[in-house]
């Protein structure tokens, strides 16, 4: 069960109610806010403009009890210290780029090396540590950011909007839009860690991914450019399977990643919005379905998770405490000619969305 912190004048109307309160100050003194979007049923989500971060999702279980199903922190201080991207918007480029460089229009761009010789989640200038502007529109919160040319090594002055909405059928929609004054690479995702039981680990959750192919990666988690069929392997979730069933098998990919940290090629590549995953927790009967316009889903069983600050539970988060469902373009796409193109051309609009639909499945 959860209690509701003090927000000004929360009223449960027959429409979505959005409230705002102060969440704290950054180390440089910038004020940060927390937003709550409340459904008439009492379910709600919380967001902050620090990192355009998804802070909480308080959702009913089979008995109607409300619990928070996203890992996070009770105060801004936790997010300031966080190194695991909990709930944040990741950009300019989600996941890894090999050798921290790419070539675009015959020019080579050098990026931050924050993961050995590679860049991960855009290095030291990632959007997860930025304070976004914001605007409230009906049942939406729109977070806006300007990323200058050269930030993190990426070309182009980039203007970005990340829009969150919460509908009465308990669907959270994240809509991304951006424009650049130069050709650039852009690959945005949300890095929420889900735990539909609200405590413990996610090993007894069931997972379904409508995909039979995934990317092969090396020991540094960089794609080799090859694809592999997952049929009859520990990576096969084409039928619902408990996450913990095969996770500790003697498989080099699982050992290197301390579990799952793999990118799946979604079926129906020509579909505008693809079914990406179903996560289910049998004790509470909570279910999460994911739909996206992106071509891939990267799953992460949080084998490397080790938070430096105590989370909402009062304890530091440890491996397998949550599960990430990151919709995105393929990792290292700028260096892999066979991968789907994710260049944002000057004058064009980057526009994608991902939907997270919560429900109870009895």
**Calpha distance 348→226 (Å, rounded):** 30
Which residues contact residue 60 at a Cβ distance below 8 angstroms, ignoring those fewer than 6 apart?
41, 42, 43, 66, 360
| Alpha-carbon radius of gyration of the chain | 19
CA distance 343 to 183: 7
Rounded CA-CA distance 91/176 in Å is: 11
Helix (H) or strand (E) holding 44: strand 44-48
**Phi (first) and psi of residue 77, to 5 degrees:** -55, -40
Residue 256 parent element (H or E) = helix 252-257
- 326 is annotated as an active-site residue: yes
Question: Can you name the residues that pair with 193 across neighbouring β-strands?
Answer: 324
Q: Among the options 191, 205, 262, 352, which is catalytic?
A: 191
Marked catalytic residue, from 179, 281, 289, 326:
326
Task: Name the β-bridge partners of 142.
Answer: 135, 163
**Catalytic residue at 191?**
yes
| Catalytic machinery residues | 191, 326
């Amino acid at each position: 069960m959860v209690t509701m912190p003090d927000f000004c004048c929360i009223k449960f109307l027959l429409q979505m109610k959005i409230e705002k309160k102060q969440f704290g100050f950054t180390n440089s003194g910038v004020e940060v806010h927390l937003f709550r979007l409340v459904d008439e049923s009492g379910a709600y989500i919380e967001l902050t403009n620090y990192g355009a971060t998804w802070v909480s999702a308080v959702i009913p279980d089979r008995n109607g009890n409300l619990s928070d199903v996203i890992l996070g922190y009770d105060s801004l201080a936790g997010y300031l210290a966080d190194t695991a991207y909990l709930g944040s918007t990741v950009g300019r480029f989600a996941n890894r780029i090999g050798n921290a460089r790419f070539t675009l229009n015959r020019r080579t761009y050098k990026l931050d090396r924050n993961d050995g010789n590679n860049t991960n989640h855009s290095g030291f200038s990632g959007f997860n540590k930025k304070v976004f502007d914001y605007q409230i529109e009906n049942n939406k919160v729109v977070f806006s950011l300007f990323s200058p040319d050269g930030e993190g090594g990426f070309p182009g002055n980039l203007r970005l909007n990340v829009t969150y909405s919460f509908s009465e059928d308990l669907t959270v929609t994240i809509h991304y839009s951006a424009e650049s004054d130069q050709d650039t690479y852009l690959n945005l995702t949300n890095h929420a860690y889900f735990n539909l039981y609200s405590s413990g680990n996610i090993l007894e959750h069931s997972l379904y991914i409508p995909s039979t192919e995934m990317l092969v990666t090396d020991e540094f988690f960089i794609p080799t450019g090859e694809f592999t069929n997952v049929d009859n392997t520990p990576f096969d979730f084409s039928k619902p399977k408990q996450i913990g069933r095969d996770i500790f098998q003697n498989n080099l990919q699982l050992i290197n990643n301390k579990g799952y940290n793999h990118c799946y090629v979604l079926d129906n590549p020509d579909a505008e919005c693809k079914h990406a995953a179903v996560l289910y927790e049998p004790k509470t009967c909570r279910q999460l379905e994911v739909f996206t316009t992106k071509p891939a889903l990267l799953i992460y069983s949080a084998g490397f998770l080790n938070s430096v600050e105590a989370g909402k539970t009062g304890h530091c988060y440890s491996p397998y405490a949550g599960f990430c469902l990151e919709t995105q373009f393929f990792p290292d796409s700028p260096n892999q000619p066979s991968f789907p193109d994710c260049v944002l051309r000057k004058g064009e609009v980057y526009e994608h969305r991902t939907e997270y639909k919560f429900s109870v499945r009895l």
